[in-house]
């Protein structure tokens, strides 16, 4: 989109279709009082609202009206749901990241440390009034492989590097980027999987990444622990369960799932090596949406591409 006249996307009328609309609109209008807003719930937005607006802030509702808009600012980092039915040519798509990288990084580090320090065992022993000794392990010196080396993956890499881990990256291109000691392309990841102690998934969901962690890639693992915080469908859950039982991976921390909420009958709930959390690792706060939207408007006024512009052709 480098050839575009980005100034054409400067907003005038914004329809907001998501949670926390009043708070986000107030934050935005404190800086841009000239903007007109319509605040709608997902079940109250109408086709007329999209005819009135030139810009939408939200997530999936109204996707069928995107062609009537000039700009859609996603209130989430992932845009796969918006792109599911294709994308209208010429409509700008940006996204919200905010403090998500730091939140996800701390989530991953916390669960890794909980594992090496046997925090759950300590809690179980306290409930049982047991004082059986155990031997905590060091996270320092372990190999951490992060799938996805964008802004969120880099934050995860920085967190593990800060405690002395060797951090490797896997990306679509294999392009070198800090803080990763080495970055390999997706099709060349088998050797780094074989030496991994921890594998973290921060990948967006595209047709290329769906079930990219499948039985074939799992077969290269030697007891690694897995943390999934990007999109659930990146991991083939059935193959992962088989790999857990076979010892190819020794534990899994899952915050995202192919279908959410996770079905009550899913075997993931009761598997002894699996920790389930309810998609909370990368929570988006209202101030994150407002700030990233305002940053994008500032770029548009300079006729520049906003930093968090998504590429519909790539899917992120």
220 tagged catalytic? no
Is 100-276 in the same CATH topology as 6-98+284-301? yes
CA torsion through residues 222, 136, 271, 147, sign:
negative
The whole-angstrom separation of Cα 198 and Cα 189 is: 14
Identified catalytic residue from 260, 283, 307, 314 = 260
Interatomic CA distance for residues 252 and 240, integer angstroms: 9
Using DSSP's 3-state secondary structure scheme, residue 152 falls into: helix
Q: How would you label 208-221 residue by residue, b for 16+ Cβ within 10 Å and e otherwise? A: ebbebbbeebbebb
Residue 231 known to be catalytic: yes
CATH architecture, domain defined by 6-98+284-301: 3-Layer(aba) Sandwich (3.40)
The answer to whether 260 is a known catalytic residue is yes
Which residues of the chain fall short of a pLDDT of 70?
1-3, 61-62
pLDDT number for residue 1:
42
33-53 tens-digit pLDDT: 999 999 998 888 899 999 999
Q: Which CATH number fits domain 100-276: 3.40.50.720, 1.10.3720.10, 3.40.1190.20, 3.10.20.440?
A: 3.40.50.720
pLDDT score, position 262 = 97
Q: What is the pLDDT of residues 180-207, one digit of tens each?
A: 999 999 999 999 999 999 999 999 999 9
What is the distance between the terminal CA atoms of the chain, rounded to a whole angstrom?
14
**Domain definitions of the chain by residue range:** 6-98+284-301, 100-276
For 1, 179, 182, 217, the CA distances from 176, given in Å and listed in that order, are: 24, 9, 7, 22
Catalytic residue selected from 70, 210, 279, 305: 279
Q: Are 141 and 90 in contact (CB under 8 A)?
A: no
Q: Is the pTM of this model over 0.85?
A: yes
């Amino acid at each position: 989109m480098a050839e575009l006249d980005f100034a054409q996307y400067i907003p005038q009328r914004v329809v907001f279709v998501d949670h926390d609309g009043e708070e986000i609109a107030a934050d935005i209008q404190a800086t841009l009082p000239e903007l007109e807003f319509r605040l709608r719930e997902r079940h109250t937005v109408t086709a007329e609202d999209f005819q009135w607006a030139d810009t939408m802030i939200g997530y999936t509702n109204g996707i069928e009206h995107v062609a009537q808009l000039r700009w859609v600012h996603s209130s989430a980092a992932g845009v796969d749901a918006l792109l599911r039915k294709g994308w209208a040519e010429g409509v700008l798509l940006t996204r919200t990241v905010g403090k998500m990288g730091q939140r996800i990084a701390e989530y991953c580090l916390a669960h890794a440390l909980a594992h090496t320090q046997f925090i759950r065992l300590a809690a179980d022993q306290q409930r049982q009034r047991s004082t059986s000794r155990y031997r905590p392990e060091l996270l320092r010196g372990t190999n951490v492989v992060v799938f996805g080396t964008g802004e969120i993956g880099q934050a995860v890499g920085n967190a593990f590097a800060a405690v002395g881990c060797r951090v490797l990256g896997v990306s679509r291109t294999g392009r070198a980027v800090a803080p990763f000691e080495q970055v390999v392309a997706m099709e060349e990841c088998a050797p780094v999987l074989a030496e991994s102690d921890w594998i973290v998934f921060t990948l967006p969901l595209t047709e290329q990444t769906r079930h990219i962690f499948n039985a074939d890639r799992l077969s290269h693992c030697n007891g690694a622990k897995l943390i999934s915080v990007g999109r659930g469908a990146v991991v083939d859950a059935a193959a992962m369960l088989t790999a857990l039982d076979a010892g190819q991976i020794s534990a899994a921390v899952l915050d995202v799932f192919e279908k959410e909420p996770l079905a009550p009958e899913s075997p993931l709930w009761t598997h002894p090596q699996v920790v389930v959390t309810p998609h909370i690792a990368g929570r988006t706060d209202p101030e994150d949406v407002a700030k990233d939207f305002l940053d994008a408007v500032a770029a548009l006024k300079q006729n520049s591409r906003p930093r968090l512009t998504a590429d519909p052709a790539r899917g992120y």
